[in-house]
Amino acid sequence: MKHIEMVIIGAGPAGISAAIEAAKSGMKVTVLDENAKTGGRIFSQLNEGLKFNDPKAHSSDFKKGTKLLTEFLANSHNINFLSNAQVIGIFPNRELAYHQNGKLFRIRYKGLIIATGAFERSVPFPGWTLPGVFTAGGTQTLIKMQGILPGKKFLLAGTGPLQLVLANQIIEAGGEVEAILEAGKTGSWYETMRAIWGNWNLLVDGLRYLNGIRKAKVPILRNHLILKASGDGQVEKAVFSKCDQDWKPIESTSQTIEVDTICLGYGFVPSVDLSRLAGCEHQFEARLGGWIPVRDTTMMTSVPHVYSVGDGSGVAGNIVAGLEGRIAGIAAAQSFGYLSQKAAKQQQSPFLNALRKLTRFRKYLDNMSVPRPGLYELANDKTLICRCEEINLRTIKKAIQEVKPENINELKRTTRAGMGHCQHKMCGHALQEIMAAQLGINPSEVGAIRPRPPIKPVPLGVFEDLERL
């Protein structure tokens, strides 16, 4: 087994930024990522196979990513990057295991930075399992990385700025966006300007995306959400309506639209399986996506020398993720003697100031976009909640009424919901909301599903010949 001083899990904006700052101090770090290249989903390059009418409209993130990756490579003498390395668990005695190229490896670390990001919030409703229903991020990945436009006529339903970004990418790739359904309500002009004041780059990006949508004559319907999808073997129609402040549909306003593709973008859920396995204390913050690790100002968790950064610590976007990564990288270097306390504070100062500057804007978006109770009332009794185990809403409600589980883990054991291939990533948050609603309690009171290694599926053959580094 190999012993490593500092391990970073994840090579997106947060993990890369942490690695850069730690490496600059002279610290040797090992970065693990399940993808073949660094950058994560946000900083991936648009596929050259697609011909875009205005490539500049989508180059902002890629330019930021290129700059970050250049800095990463400039410090590569102190960085050992392991690609296609899928971490499957963290164990006692500061040990982790990862799967790479058909083999299983183990590492013992002194310090750990968890930068695993978030996964998309799935919302069950009648027809959501039909071919043609995608998540917003999944659609982005198909377009940007695979050069695939998954349909012709699109309906976007969700909340937040990602909808605007995706709409532009679809339009530029040759697709038609019939409408954008925004469940949240935008604040007044004064509230918007107050929130964004000083963050001019965000304002410029937002105006550019809005201009692209305006040119394509795409309607943005605020306080609207999707109700159901229908079709013969694939999406052909979608029903949507206005919703109230709790995102409960106003059925009398329902409309039907003909589309072949629906993209859902109702936010993200922090990926906390590894931070839980590491023994970190967690708290429930609905506006940040759910359960998140408790951290101090240096991004260190309740476990000494274990840090959590980026969307896995509260969904806030790539800018915040990068700043948190830099702060944690400097803190880790200082804690192991590579920087003095004075030098660490000086280096962290501009990143902490930038983080504080973004606070107003983050709260503004949170207030607009945090999911409301009505979102999880769209499903009917026949709607599948756990797709892997094919458990519908009727089964879940019956188990809650008859068994009266004390927490979500008891519900999982009773129904098998959350035990499937995805390891509760698609249904866990829905189960939490449904159980809380049935019992009339706060979602935090039902607890969180307990993760168990391997947190992601691996071939059984890898356990036959365990290779120790």
What are the structure tokens assigned to 108, written together? Answer: 């013992």
CA distance 16 to 10: 8
Domain with CATH 1.10.10 in the chain: 379-446
84-97 pLDDT, tens digit per residue, is 999 999 999 999 99
Q: Please give the mean pLDDT across all residues of the chain.
A: 89
Place of tokens 């105006």: 207
Question: Is residue 420 predicted with pLDDT exceeding 70?
Answer: yes
Averaged pLDDT, 404-419: 95
Give the helix/strand (H/E) hosting 156. Answer: strand 153-158
198-215 pLDDT, tens digit per residue, is 555 666 677 788 899 999
122-140 pLDDT, tens digit per residue, is 999 999 999 999 999 999 9
What pLDDT is stored for residue 457 in this prediction?
Answer: 85
Averaged pLDDT, 33-57: 59
Domain 2-119+269-339: CATH superfamily is FAD/NAD(P)-binding domain (3.50.50.60)
**CATH no. for 122-266:** 3.50.50.60
Instruction: Rank 26-40, 275-289, 348-362 by mean pLDDT and report only the highest.
Output: 275-289
The one-letter code for the residue type at 27 is M
Averaged pLDDT, 44-50: 48
φ, ψ of residue 97 to 5 degrees: the values are -125, 140
What pLDDT is stored for residue 52 in this prediction?
Answer: 46
Question: Could you tell me the pLDDT band of residue 40, with boundaries at 50, 70 and 90?
Answer: low
Question: Is residue 151 predicted with pLDDT exceeding 80?
Answer: yes
Query: Can you list the alpha helix ranges (DSSP code H) found in 284-392?
Result: 318-335, 341-357, 359-369
What pLDDT is stored for residue 464 in this prediction?
Answer: 72
180 three-state secondary structure: strand
What are the structure tokens assigned to 16, written together? Answer: 């890369």
Averaged pLDDT, 266-280: 95
Question: Could you tell me the pLDDT band of residue 152, with boundaries at 50, 70 and 90?
Answer: very high
Burial of 169 (0-12, 13-18, 19+ CB in 10 A): buried
What are the structure tokens assigned to 372, written together? Answer: 């409301």
53-68 pLDDT, tens digit per residue, is 444 444 556 677 788 9
Question: Is residue 195 predicted with pLDDT exceeding 80?
Answer: no
CA distance 51 to 31: 34
Question: Is residue 185 predicted with pLDDT exceeding 90?
Answer: no
Query: Which CATH architecture is the domain 379-446 placed in?
Result: Orthogonal Bundle (1.10)
Question: Is residue 12 predicted with pLDDT exceeding 90?
Answer: yes
Q: What is the 3-state secondary structure (H, E, C) of 53-117?
A: CCHHHHCHHHHHHHHHHHHHHHCHHHEEEECCCEEEEEECCCEEEEEECCEEEEEEEEEEEECCC
CA distances from 176 to 9, 111, 154, 168, 218 (A): 38, 48, 6, 10, 9
What DSSP designation does 48 have?
Answer: T
Q: Going by C-beta distance under 8 Å and a sequence separation of 6 or more, which residues neighbour residue 139?
A: 150, 166, 170, 261, 263
What pLDDT is stored for residue 162 in this prediction?
Answer: 87
What pLDDT is stored for residue 318 in this prediction?
Answer: 87
Total residue count of the chain as it appears in this document? 469
Averaged pLDDT, 105-115: 96
Domain with CATH 3.50.50.60 in the chain: 2-119+269-339, 122-266
Averaged pLDDT, 240-244: 96
Question: Is residue 48 predicted with pLDDT exceeding 60?
Answer: no
What DSSP designation does 261 have?
Answer: E
CA distance 429 to 458: 24
Which of 388-397, 400-409, 445-454, 455-464 is predicted least confidently? 455-464
What are the structure tokens assigned to 246, written together? Answer: 């709790």
* Top-confidence residue, 356 or 259: 259
Averaged pLDDT, 338-360: 92
- This prediction's pTM: 0.89
